[in-house]
């Protein structure tokens, strides 16, 4: 163990810091695993973000990594790094319950390709994280797993649907986590939990049916620094034989800090009509000022979207994909439907009334055009991630329109081929973090990471050990 570092401090290392220490033989993968397992035991009573732990398997993997380091073997990209998986991503032979009573005890018969890549990269997978039922809410509570709480303020939600992943990262219970995003499900918890998350553009990261063909949907990485998220993104991205939509070209991203001199960034505070909380707006303006300090030119711009147009555009899509998926689960039986969460039923009902799919596709094209025209003059767009400063931990989320009207993430699922990096921007008076989205041109992943790394250094928020919540 590196001099001056105690086991109680190890859980606050970033993945890139821990990797460097292990490569120098100053930190043992087993020692690091023990630290995060102990931290999980300490924090779980307060936040309830873990569905199951795989401690013995993880310890065996950590020993393998320790032996590889000792033998001087080439380290794999994630060698020895503790990581938690979002429960939605299946692992053959393991539980796949989706937060639903109807799925209790169900065992997966396939493994998600990103899980296979993470395992092959040497990560130490030690637990899985909670989601709302079928990932269809921006909060994380279910009849099956209970209420997951925000480590910054346990009266509030960590967000959803990758709420468990955001919570364990903020709490220090792991170093890396996976997420997925169909309406903001990586970026919402990244914002509320004060961590970093990346929604890859459609096709960059392979998926499994049926959502691998859904242009709104993407699996992606979450971590406690831009470099950590880049590290995991480079492992999980790239073509896969099981997904015809997966892109053949590779886009390697980096958390390296460089000047933003010469870059032009558009700043939009309300995306055309979202009711943004003053604390969120102020922190967004602070982030914009930091980008100017890093060398960029930042201009205030407008976009003609707003929550009403965004939802009107998105509901036909959800009605064609997510809605029927949920209806199939209930199988038309009232008894089965009653076991679903109220927010699941409300979402399915709203999706069913969403409108014609073809009309939705036409609307999506019209929706994209003003963004594309704006971006002819800019390298990226920056805007708030969420308009509000938090949802209650047990927020019913049954009024889908009201909840979605706070989520400034959904527009970038509608135009799903754009990369979006979500980073913290500060904290609200209630203690819950706020965040901004860095949105790139279609498939320009490298630029959003370059901007994110510069913003991370300039703000100096989540790189400061004092940033993180105490929890216990």
314 cis-preceded (ω within 30 degrees of 0): no
CA-CA-CA-CA dihedral for 353, 359, 363, 365, to nearest 10:
140
| 161 is annotated as an active-site residue | yes
Please check whether residue 408 is in contact with residue 401, taking contact to mean a CB–CB distance below 8 angstroms.
no
Which positions ≥6 away from 362 have C-beta within 8 Å? none
Helical (H) or strand (E) element with 307: helix 306-320
pLDDT of residue 241: 98
How far is residue 1's CA from residue 24's CA, in Å, rounded to a whole number? 10
pLDDT in tens, the chain (472 residues): 444 455 548 999 999 999 999 999 999 999 999 999 999 999 999 999 999 999 999 999 999 999 999 999 999 999 999 999 999 999 999 999 999 999 999 999 999 999 999 999 999 999 999 999 999 999 999 999 999 999 999 999 999 999 999 999 999 999 999 999 999 999 999 999 999 999 999 999 999 999 999 999 999 999 999 999 999 999 999 999 999 999 999 999 999 999 999 999 999 999 999 999 999 999 999 999 999 999 999 999 999 999 999 999 999 999 998 878 887 887 767 888 899 999 999 998 898 888 899 999 999 999 999 999 999 999 999 999 999 999 999 999 999 889 999 999 999 999 999 999 999 999 999 999 999 999 999 999 999 999 999 999 999 999 999 999 998 7
> Is there a contact between 185 and 135 (Cβ–Cβ < 8 Å)?
yes
pLDDT at position 336: 87
DSSP 110: S
Relative to beta strand 196-199, strand 420-427 is antiparallel
Number of Cβ within 10 Å of residue 148's Cβ equals 31
CATH class of segment(s) 130-467: alpha beta
Q: Which residue has tokens 């406690």?
A: 224
Per-residue model confidence (pLDDT) at position 6? 54
Is 19 an active-site residue? no
Question: Which DSSP string corresponds to 409-431?
Answer: TTHHHHTTTS-EEEEEEEE-TTS
What integer pLDDT is reported at residue 325 of this predicted model?
81
Q: Cα(455)–Cα(451) distance, rounded to whole angstroms?
A: 6
| H-helix or E-strand spanning residue 86 | strand 82-86
Residue 12, helix vs strand vs coil: coil
Residue ranges per domain, the chain? Answer: 130-467
> Would the pTM count as exceeding 0.95?
yes
Say which of 19, 28, 185, 251 is annotated catalytic.
Answer: 185
Continuous segment of H or E residues that includes residue 20:
helix 15-23
Q: What is the pLDDT of residues 190-221, one digit of tens each?
A: 999 999 999 999 999 999 999 999 999 999 99
From 19, 28, 65, 86, the catalytic residue: 86
Q: What would the pLDDT profile of 429-451 be if each residue is shown by its tens digit?
A: 999 999 999 999 999 999 999 99
Cα–Cα distance for residue pair 353/315, rounded to 1 Å? 8
Catalytic residue of the set 19, 28, 157, 161: 161
185 has catalytic annotation = yes
- Residue 3 confidence (pLDDT): 43
Helix H or strand E encompassing 287: helix 278-293
Supply the pLDDT for residue 464: 94
């Amino acid at each position: 163990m590196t001099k001056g570092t105690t086991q109680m401090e190890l859980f606050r290392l970033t993945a890139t810091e821990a990797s460097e220490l292990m490569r120098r033989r100053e930190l043992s993968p087993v020692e690091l695993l023990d630290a995060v397992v102990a931290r999980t035991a300490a924090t779980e009573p307060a936040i309830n973000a873990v569905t199951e732990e795989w401690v013995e398997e993880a310890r065996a993997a950590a020993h393998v990594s320790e032996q590889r380091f000792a033998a001087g073997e080439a380290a794999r990209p994630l060698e020895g790094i503790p990581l938690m998986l979002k429960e939605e991503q299946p692992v053959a032979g393991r539980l796949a319950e989706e937060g639903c009573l109807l799925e209790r005890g169900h065992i997966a018969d396939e493994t998600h390709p990103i899980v296979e890549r993470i395992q092959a990269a040497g990560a130490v997978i030690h637990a899985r994280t909670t989601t709302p039922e079928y990932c269809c809410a921006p909060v994380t509570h279910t009849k099956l797993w209970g209420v997951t709480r925000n480590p910054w303020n346990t009266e509030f939600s960590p967000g959803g649907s990758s709420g468990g992943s955001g919570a364990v990262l903020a709490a220090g219970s792991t170093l890396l986590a996976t997420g997925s995003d169909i309406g903001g499900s990586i970026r919402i918890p990244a914002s509320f939990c004060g961590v970093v998350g990346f929604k890859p553009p459609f096709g960059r990261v392979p998926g499994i049916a049926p959502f691998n063909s859904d242009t709104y949907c993407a699996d992606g990485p979450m971590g406690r620094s831009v470099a950590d998220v880049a590290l995991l993104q480079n492992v999980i991205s790239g073509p896969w034989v099981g997904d015809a939509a997966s892109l053949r070209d590779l886009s390697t991203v980096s958390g390296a800090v460089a000047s933003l001199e010469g870059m032009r960034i558009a700043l939009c505070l309300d995306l055309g009509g979202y009711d943004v909380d003053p604390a969120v707006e102020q922190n967004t303006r602070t982030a914009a000022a930091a980008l100017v300090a890093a060398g960029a030119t930042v201009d205030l711009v407008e976009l003609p979207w707003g929550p009403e147009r965004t939802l009107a555009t998105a509901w036909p899509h959800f009605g064609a994909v997510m809605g029927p998926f949920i209806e199939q689960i209930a199988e038309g039986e009232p008894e089965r439907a009653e076991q679903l969460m109220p927010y699941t039923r409300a979402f399915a009902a709203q999706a069913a009334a969403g409108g014609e799919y073809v009309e939705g596709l036409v609307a999506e094209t019209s929706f994209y055009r003003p963004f594309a025209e704006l971006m002819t003059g800019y390298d990226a767009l920056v805007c708030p991630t969420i308009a509000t400063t938090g949802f209650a931990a047990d927020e019913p989320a049954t009024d889908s329109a009201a909840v979605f009207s706070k989520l400034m993430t959904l527009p970038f699922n509608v135009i799903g081929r754009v990369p979006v990096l979500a980073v913290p921007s500060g904290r609200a008076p209630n203690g819950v973090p706020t965040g901004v989205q860095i949105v790139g041109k279609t498939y320009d992943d490298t630029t959003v990471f370059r901007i994110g790394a510069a913003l991370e250094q300039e703000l100096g928020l989540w790189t400061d050990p004092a940033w993180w919540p105490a929890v216990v």
